[in-house]
Chain A
Amino acid sequence: MDHAEARAALAVADGVADTARRRARWYAAWCAAYAVLTAAYTAGVGLAPGPLTIGAGSAAWAIATALLSAYAVRQPVAPRHYTRLHLTMIGTWAVLYAGVLVLGADRFGDPAWWVPGALLTAVPPLAGAVAALRLTRAAA
C-alpha cells in the first residue's frame, strides 16, 4: 500500500463514517421534542391543576411518549454512547421532574414555581440534544 492508496482508504472511511453519524442525529431531535413535551406537561399540570388538565394532560403525555418510543426503536442507527447518554438523560430528568412535582405540591397555580420548574425539567433533554449533536458531528 502506498501513500495515495492510504489516503484514498481514509477518505472512503471518512465518507462512510459521516453517513453513519448523520443518520444518528435523530436522537438530538428526539431529545428536543422531549424537552418541549416535558416543559408543556409540567407547566400545564402545575399552573392549571384539575381533573380535566391532569386527565387530558396525562393522556397526551402517554400518547406522545409512546410515539417517541416507537420512533426511537425504529431508527437504524444509534449514536455513539447512546445507552449511557439516554439513561443519564432520563435518570436526571426523572429526579428533576419528581423534585419539581413534590416540592411544588403546595404551590399549584403559582407561576413563580411552575414556570421555572417546567423549564428545569427541559434541561436534561436539551443537554442530551446538545451531546447528541456533538457525538454526531463530522470528524475534523
Chain B
Amino acid sequence: MTRHPRARLDPVIHAPVRFSIVAALAAVQSADFRFVRDAVEITDSALSKQAATLEEAGYVRIDKGFTGRRPRTRLALTAQGRDAFDRHVRALRDIASGAAVPAPEDGGGATAPPT
C-alpha cells in the first residue's frame, strides 16, 4: 500500500510557526529565546506558547539561567525533536516533488511513481 507523504507530516511541527522555530533550532546547537523570537518574527508570548507545546511533545528543551544578572532562556532541539524534524522535512520534500512513497509498515522499498 502506498500512502501520500502528507500522512507522514508531524502534527506538532506542521503548524507554520512551530515549523519555523524547529527549523531555526535544527540548524544550531542552541539559541536564545530572543534570537528565535526575532528570527521567526513573533511575539514573546507567542513563542512562549509554541515553545511550551514543543517541550510537551519532547521536541525542545528549555533552559533558564542567567548571564551575569540578566535572565536568559535558551532553546535547543532534543534528539527526538531533530528526528521528527528530519522526517517532517523528508515528507515535505516528497510532497513538493510529487512523490508518493510506501509507508513504513509496507516494509519500505523504492519510491513509487508520482500520483
Contacts and interface: CB of A to CB of B under 8 A. Distances in A.
Contacts of B16: 9, 12
B14 to A, nearest CB: 8
Interface residues of A, number: 30
Interface in A7-31: 7, 9-10, 12-14, 16-21, 23-24
A106 interface: no
A81 B27 CA distance: 10
Given A13-B89, A77-B32, A1 B27 contact: no
Interface residues of B, number: 27
B25 A20 contact: yes
Interface stretch (B50-58, B93-101, B103-111): B93-101
B6 interface: yes
B112 interface: no
Interface of B: 6, 9, 16, 19-20, 23-32, 34-35, 39-40, 67, 89, 92-93, 95-98
26 contacts: A1-B9, A2-B95, A10-B89, A12-B20, A13-B19, A13-B20, A16-B23, A16-B24, A16-B39, A17-B23, A17-B26, A17-B27, A20-B27, A20-B31, A21-B28, A24-B28, A76-B32, A77-B30, A77-B32, A77-B35, A78-B31, A79-B28, A80-B27, A80-B28, A83-B29, A139-B27
Given A16-B40, A20-B39, 12 more contacts: A9-B16, A9-B19, A10-B92, A14-B23, A16-B23, A16-B24, A17-B23, A20-B35, A21-B28, A76-B32, A78-B29, A80-B28
